[in-house]
Amino acid sequence: MPVRAIYLLISLLILVLDQVTKSWATRSLRPVFMIEIIPGFLRFTYATNRGVAFSLFADSSIDIRYILAAISMLAAIFVILYQWRIPVWMVRLNIALSLLLAGIVGNLIDRVRLGEVVDFIDLHWQDRYTWPTFNIADAAICTGAVILALQMIKEERAAERHVS
């Protein structure tokens, strides 16, 4: 199997996991709303989001589904083209881009199909601190972005050492 195909497989596996878990959440959580997994820390709560991260623009009076879908499509195309140019031996960078692609496409599918994104993972500390409800695609995007940022910092430091 060519190495580039492995990165595509990573994206595909995460995309499938995202869609399967969102389907499960819709079937199983929507009727009951919430299942406590680890009391005081993790519960599965059915939620939808018409907006972007942290529900920004969710209450917009206009239907922004197609605007957000177009932006997601452009972002996915950008990631694909960028990943195609990255050497396969740059594993961290390629994994970061694979995670970003899977997350972008996972939420894009929801947005086009449903008009909103299904979220269900609810992290909290007791009932005092609550992280916004998210899904596997969101986790992939955040993880990919962190890996990408760390890789860029590492490359910048290496370039600075090389110059001095």
pLDDT for 62 equals 62
Share of the chain above pLDDT 70, in %: 91
Given a cut of 90, whether residue 126 has pLDDT beyond it is no
Q: DSSP label at 133? A: P
User: Confidence class of residue 161 from pLDDT cuts 50, 70 and 90?
Assistant: confident
Total tally of structural domains belonging to the chain: 1
Find, among 21, 44, 38, 30, the residue nearest to 107 by Cα.
21
Enclosing domain of residue 49: 3-163
pLDDT for 59 equals 59
The Cα–Cα gap between 50 and 160 comes to: 43
Find, among 144, 111, 136, 133, the residue nearest to 55 by Cα.
133
Alpha-carbon Rg of the chain, whole angstroms? 18
- What residues act catalytically? 119, 138
